[in-house]
Structure 1
Amino acid sequence: MALLSGGGWMSADAGGNDDNKTRGGYKNQTLRPVTIKQLVEVSPPPANGPIFIDGCEIKNITFVGVVRSVLQQSINVIYSVEDGTGKIDVRVWAGGNDQGGDMGDDGQGGSNQMVDPNITVGKYVCVYGELRFFNGKRNVSSHKVRLVTDHNEIAYRGMEAIYVHLNATRGPPPALRQRAGAPAVSGMGGSSMYSSGGAMGGYGAMVSNDQGMSAIHASVLDVIKTSPPHPNGLEIAVIKQRLAGRYQSNQVSEAVEWLISEGHLYNTIDETHVLSTSMND
């Protein structure tokens, strides 16, 4: 899988010289996959200060989400984009010269691009840009917004963001550390998102790690995996209907929340739709 092979943004510890640590250096120009929740939770930096996620300075970010609204203005277009974890405004600056740098109504320069008329409400898009703050409000100044044509990308991008977050906050996966001769992390139960094994080199519960699951957890996953595939996932109400003879509605809700927190499921278009993170789905 490409995200394990070590692109520029994956090498969190690569290069120890001071040039890589300076603002605007190569290390800080790399592309960081994120969720919108991570962007919403970022603390506003001091004037012209760097922005940090998971303790790492970031500049360029990317994420996938669904367009909830479109506001066409004279110098830019504002897309309200949601990814199931949160919602944020994405500004696309139009017109001007090829150098970027037009000043928008928030006083910030942005990269110019052709606005795609096919990007409308309800369409999934992949966003590339920078997180900006102005008058206490945050938005993404976009370098590029493109339509998602393969809905497998929605699941892939979500898992990519999870992997990078765990790699940044907890270090390499245990299985990779063991291969390198380093001791495994102790104190992690079999049901942990960080347990060893799994197709992503040790982030077991992100894939097919059923250890620590109860019968209802396994039943919820079975309903999802045996249902016809759909890019929006399966409605939680449908799961409750399928399991109505075995479990109460509140029990299914609690099981879904547990599976999401452990990395087995994730929300798609909203909090009522879920998909499995299993590589075998």
Structure 2
Amino acid sequence: MGVCVQVKLLGIMMNKIERVTDVSFALDDGTGRINVNRWWVLCSLVNETSDTNEMAIVQNGMYVTIRGSLKGFQGKRQVVAYSVRPVIDFNEVTLHYLECIHVHLDNTRPKANTVIGTVTPNQNDIKGFQTPLTNPIPGMKFSDNEIQKRVLDVFMEPASLVREQGLHIDEVIRRLRFATEEYHLKSLSCRDAISYHNDLGHIYSTIDDFHFKSAMNG
């Protein structure tokens, strides 16, 4: 059975082919390559003129940013794009490669085996999404990675996944403050973590720029 998640990608457009029904091309960022399709039927549903011009502007060899759905079926992955834009600020390219390095190091460096605490699930309370994931240690502060993990955990909770409009940023902050009162978690750090996950495609905005929903199926 296929899986579909919302993603934001950056790379160089290659092998662009225009057809009556769609435009296909490969996106390569130096770490890998993936096939992308931009269907004209999606253009006509949103804004036919601007989206047609959008695909005429981007050409092979250009850096582009893509928003769309990552679909996997029978071991093959491709992106169905609903937005393709040329990169204008090349700081985005630098940021992208810094994020690639960060993710690579995070996946390859050995993880510490320190256990902060344990969880006792409340089996009788289906609204237990505000229950702390670990028992806090007074005076201890979170690292950036820990804050990012806890923010993503909030979006991955069952009560959050079923909400069509997702969660408001302020609600995410309230939940984390409730669960980690003694960790001095600042709202700015929480907002930075939300931006981090949005940039990587872990979450996506829904009804406005303040509501976000997990792009994963949990």
TM range (shorter): 0.3 to 0.5
Query: Whose RCO is larger (CA < 8 A, sep 6+)?
Result: 2
TM-score by length of 2: 0.42
TM-score by length of 1: 0.34
